[in-house]
Amino acid sequence: MSADFQKALDALPHGAEFRFVDRLTRLEPGKSGAGEYTVRGNEPFLRGHFPGEPIFPGVLLAEAAAQLAGIVAQSDPQIPPLKNLRLTALRNVKILGTARPGETIQIEATIAGRLGGLVQAQVTGQVNGEVVLRAELTLSGDL
């Protein structure tokens, strides 16, 4: 991973326990990006989702996509990073599948627009070439 990719990834405010982007595979700062998260199988939430048949929760697919969208938005060289950036809205969310331990989720995010402290993004997630998530989301932060 390039130094720029690592710097963008390190800017995520989430702790290791709640970080769902392992690596960036593409970054067009402020415009779009792609990343991956590999489901390890030892994540604590998998013990209860579902015992004996663990699957990555759909809501965390949306969280992973929001984290990637935040990385893309915050890396824009023309716009200072927003403070306290957070996910504030989800629209047209379709959870079409999931990931199991050992599988890698490929996430893509494209910034669709910005207005003040609001960032709109289009996001998708795929596992083994199959779309598992499609959504529009809004991030908000302080200027």
DSSP 63-132: HHHHHHHHHHHHT-TTSPPPEEEEEEEEEEEEE-----TT-EEEEEEEEEEEETTEEEEEEEEEETTEEE
Class of domain 3-142: alpha beta
The catalytic residues are 49
Per-residue pLDDT band at 32 (split at 50, 70, 90):
very high
State pLDDT tens for residues 76-96.
Answer: 999 999 999 999 999 999 999
Domain ranges of the chain: 3-142
Per-residue pLDDT band at 133 (split at 50, 70, 90):
very high
Q: Across the chain, what does the average pLDDT equal?
A: 95
Answer yes or no: is pLDDT of 12 > 90: no
pTM above 0.85, yes or no: yes
Looking at residue 6, its pLDDT comes to: 85
